[in-house]
Chain A
Amino acid sequence: MSKNEMIQITYREAVREAIREALRRDERVFLLGEDVGRYGGCFAVSKGLLEEFGPERIIDTPLSESGFTGAGIGAALGGMRPIVEIMTVNFSLLAADQIINNAATFLHMSGGCFNVPLVIRMSTGGGKQLAAQHSHSLEGWYAHIPGIKVLTPATLEDARGMLWSALEDPDPVLIFEHQSLLNMEGQLLANAGAVDIDRAQIRRPGSDLSVITYGASLFKALEAAEILAGEGIEVEVIDLRALRPLDDATFLTSIASTHRALIVDEGWRSGGISAEICARIMEGAFYELDAPVERICGAEVPMPYAKHLEEAAMPQVEAIVTTAKRMVRSNG
């Protein structure tokens, strides 16, 4: 295998390869969740892993989100490196007690006695017509909580590389895999490995406007940037990658050269991560701005089922293009 050999792979396969690598590299790692074994995972991420690693490391659980997430925390305390899979972010609310009251607090509440080296993966986001109990974007809401880390891999590299870094982290890490990205296919280095989990990345450089986004919205922003480039507007697209810790240095530096910022977030506007990013821009780059910061967020409704309504409830390319044009053409 040459150093630069590329393979064709989907996001789903990249996550599966990451789990497989972790299981091979560290015998303390195991996967725990509803239907991760025989069924192959509700989004088929873990398909084939049961056959390869056996039922003691690919553990099907009953429908007990709080119970098995807490068991993951306990196993982490007991020296294992569990990967807990929760089907969707909405279901994670059934485990919110364990995630927020236990995983996030144990190290601090115990004065440093007990850390929780746990990884929790879950799907997030809309676009699959799964309506209001399977499609929300609560990763920004989890990012509110000190004691956990919140990752939002958007690219194939991150889908492949964030898990190992998360497992090496001594504290609880939540990984949000966007449902609409699972079938995304592309080229990835055959020897792709661990990536950092605390820095934002500029996915497209530009000088006229900073678009700050993460998750599936990244690709809408990149598509919009391409259209805007055709009209002479150069957009810098920033992929946050992690919502906690939030790498504000990267977007503040970007704004210092573009002087305009647009936040694209599938989560709800009120009290969301977009509001936090906006506040940090006010605190750290107010005098750099030539125009007010703007936001394109999920509409403030529970996610509807009907396709046209679901699309209207989520940030779309057209809105990014229109807003970007208005912002750049306003004379600051």
Chain B
Amino acid sequence: MNAKSPSSLSGAQVDREHAHHLLHQMLRIRRFEEKSAELYTLMKIRGFLHLCIGEEAVAVGVCEALEPEDGVVATYREHGNALARGISASAIMAEMYGKQEGCSRGRGGSMHIFDDKTRFYGGNAIVGCGLPLAVGLALADKMQGRKRVTCCFFGDGAIAEGEFHESMNLAALWHLPVFFVCENNLYAMGTALERAQSVTDLVRKAASYNIASSAVDGMDVLTVEAAAKEAVNIVRREQEPYFLECRTYRFRAHSMFDPELYRSKAEVEKWKKRGPIVTLVKRLKKQGLLSDVELEQLEQQVAREIEEAVAFAENGTWEPVEDLTRFVYSERG
């Protein structure tokens, strides 16, 4: 793959059932987050809420490439990664409600989704702080002779952090099976990449650490999936890190407190035309792989799941205040 012109599979034929699965996953994320935004305005969800609407293809395409035993480290914009990884919408919604049935018992909220069953290590809200963790998880796998991959999501903003550079160096130096996935949505909060980086070609940065690296069109789920599978194969087989830059775009504001002064509406509209869901739907319809009825069925299935998730969160319970100081230290016995 060539960094200068991200590869794309937009013309390729795909398996009907698999394409429906990918579309379903992206729709789950999209509708889940739209519902989250609505619930935020109703004050059911509080704190910071960062939506990944527009970036669904990255979460879905990458998680398709992972095995159940692999690990995932994500950022504070992680609902999509968590859903695609297999954490239930109910557990995530309950978490955002702050209920003890949430995946982090309501102690983390939107930014700190955790799940041991899927080896989902957050939900990390200090930009860049997840990368060293991924290095360590991979080190543990290597030391214990396991062929697992640790997938580490981070945004373009993290590239400016020292922890990115330290982690790239360590992963390459120690030959660790880390799959670094940069969700490059062009803005670190409100700071455009070219205003933050002297070198904006992120693949070159990874390559400078002697890490195999490539960039893909992060708006195309099939492209992301193919690139991720190839990358994960390399990581697992070679026991070496890989850096994949997914060029994507956040359609919504950075958080719920963002008037978006730093970018134009025209720019957002231009990217929306390339949205991962509309383009996949259009392509599948054109190829005769998706009917209106099937799309409607998928939407209904997703709507039911989200309805159930909201009901689960609504019916969830508050952890007793007496339990406030639990989980500061491990409970023994």
Contacts and interface: CB of A to CB of B under 8 A. Distances in A.
Contact of A75 (B105, B116, B124, B143): B143
Given A79-B144, A98-B132, A101-B129, A110 B108 contact: yes
Contact of B105 (A71, A72, A73, A111): A111
B133 interface: yes
Contacts of B265: none
A194 to B, nearest CB: 16
Given A108-B327, A109-B108, A110-B122, 20 more contacts: A62-B173, A69-B132, A70-B129, A70-B135, A74-B138, A74-B139, A75-B136, A75-B139, A75-B143, A76-B136, A77-B121, A78-B137, A98-B129, A107-B327, A109-B107, A110-B112, A111-B105, A114-B114, A115-B330, A149-B329
Interface string A51-92: 000001000011010111111111111111010000000000
B132 A170 contact: no
B169 A62 contact: yes
Contact of B137 (A66, A75, A107, A109): A75
Report, as a range, how many residues of chain A touch the other chain: 35 or more
A67 B114 CA distance: 22
28 contacts: A62-B173, A64-B166, A64-B170, A66-B162, A67-B132, A67-B169, A71-B132, A71-B136, A71-B139, A73-B136, A74-B138, A77-B137, A78-B144, A80-B140, A82-B136, A98-B129, A101-B129, A102-B129, A108-B107, A108-B327, A109-B108, A109-B122, A111-B103, A111-B114, A113-B104, A114-B114, A114-B116, A146-B328
A209 B162 CA distance: 50
Contacts of A62: 166, 169-170, 173
A114 B133 CA distance: 13
B115 interface: yes
B50 to A, nearest CB: 16
A217 B331 CA distance: 33
A101 B128 CA distance: 12
B328 A67 contact: no
Interface string B128-158: 0101111111111101100000100000000
B140 A112 contact: no
B143 A56 contact: yes
A150 to B, nearest CB: 13
A64 B171 CA distance: 12
B133 A70 contact: yes
Nearest to A66: B163
A147 interface: yes
Given A61-B170, A67-B135, A70-B133, A147 B328 contact: yes
A251 interface: no
A110 B115 CA distance: 8
A76 B133 CA distance: 9
A70 B330 contact: no
B139 A97 contact: no
A30 interface: yes
Interface string B161-178: 011001101100100000
